[in-house]
């Protein structure tokens, strides 16, 4: 289970930052003058991109490994959150949301597959429970942090701070994320919970 915890540590900056960003993103779009219908459409575009990207990145993760896809997704979020900081028009936000949804598709499939690969089948439920706890902790810390940061620094600087924090996560991931192919069944079975 130690390897699952390392995955959680590596992606935790992204989890916190997603809570930071998505708490304030609609307010930011409204502040830019986007209509409510445009905001709804933008979120729909991101979700649609994620729905299309998920099976594609799942197959890619099967071919090249979970770690490179996961690190690529995390790196894409650096671009997405930075993109939010520089958007001025709905058309530009549309492109950022396409990348955002694609990144979520890659993240969701690769992270879940990596966690499942790191433990024996009989421990997958517990491992995914640990992983989901990391998500929840990110969303416990992120929203209040996003509100406070945006009150002090404004929306754009908050998005850039989130992007910088995700860079830390990518660097952690380079060092901490295990390769699912590098673990033997005996290594998986010997790990304490």
pLDDT at 191 over 60: no
Domain that residue 12 falls in: 2-175
pLDDT at 39 over 90: yes
Per-residue exposure over 129-160, b if at least 16 CB sit within 10 Å of its own CB, e if not: ebbeebbeebbebbbebbeebbeeeebeebbb
Q: Is residue 191 part of a domain?
A: no
Confidence of residue 184 (pLDDT cuts 50, 70, 90): very low
What is the C-alpha separation between 74 and 67, in angstroms, rounded?
A: 11
- Over the stretch 117-164, which tens digit does the pLDDT of each residue have? 999 999 999 999 999 999 999 999 999 999 999 999 999 999 999 999
Whole-prediction pTM value? 0.90
Both tokens of 42, joined, read 């933008």
DSSP for 13-68?
HHHHHHHHHHHHHHHHHHHTT--HHHHHHHHHHHHHHHHHHHHHHHHHHHHH-HHH
What whole-number percentage of the chain has pLDDT above 70?
Answer: 93
- Over the stretch 6-23, which tens digit does the pLDDT of each residue have? 999 999 999 999 999 999
What is the C-alpha separation between 84 and 50, in angstroms, rounded?
A: 18
Q: Is residue 153 part of a domain?
A: yes
What is the C-alpha separation between 118 and 66, in angstroms, rounded?
A: 11
pLDDT at 82 over 60: yes
Domain count, the chain: 1
Q: Give the domain CATH number at 151.
A: 1.20.1250.20
Q: Is residue 53 part of a domain?
A: yes
- Over the stretch 88-125, which tens digit does the pLDDT of each residue have? 888 899 999 999 999 999 999 999 999 999 999 999 99
Give, in degrees to the nearest 5, the angle at Cα 114 between 71 and 1: 115
pLDDT of 89: 86
Both tokens of 191, joined, read 């790990």
CA dihedral 155, 158, 159, 160 (to 10 degrees): 130
Q: What interhelical angle do 90-117 and 2-31 show, nearest 10?
A: 170
Q: Is residue 184 part of a domain?
A: no
What is the C-alpha separation between 89 and 67, in angstroms, rounded?
A: 34
Closest Cα partner for 73 from 182, 166, 155, 151? 166
DSSP for 89-114?
SHHHHHHHHHHHHHHHHHHHHHHHHH
């Amino acid at each position: 289970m130690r390897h699952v915890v390392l995955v959680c540590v590596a992606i935790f900056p992204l989890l916190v930052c997603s809570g930071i960003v998505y708490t304030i993103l609609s307010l930011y779009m409204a502040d830019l003058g986007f209509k409510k219908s445009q905001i709804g459409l933008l979120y729909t575009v991101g979700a649609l991109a994620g729905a299309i990207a998920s099976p594609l990145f799942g197959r890619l993760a099967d071919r090249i490994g979970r770690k490179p896809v996961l690190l690529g997704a995390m790196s894409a979020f650096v671009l997405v959150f930075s993109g939010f900081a520089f958007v001025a028009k709905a058309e530009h936000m549309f492109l950022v949301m396409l990348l955002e949804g694609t990144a979520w598709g890659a993240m969701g499939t690769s992270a879940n597959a990596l966690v499942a690969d790191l433990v024996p089948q009989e421990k997958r439920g517990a491992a995914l429970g640990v992983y989901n706890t990391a998500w929840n902790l990110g969303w416990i810390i992120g929203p209040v942090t996003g509100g406070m940061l945006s009150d002090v620094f404004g929306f754009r600087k908050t998005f850039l701070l989130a992007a910088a924090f995700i860079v830390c996560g990518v660097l952690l991931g380079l060092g901490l994320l295990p390769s699912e192919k590098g673990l033997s069944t005996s290594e998986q079975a010997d790990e304490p919970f």
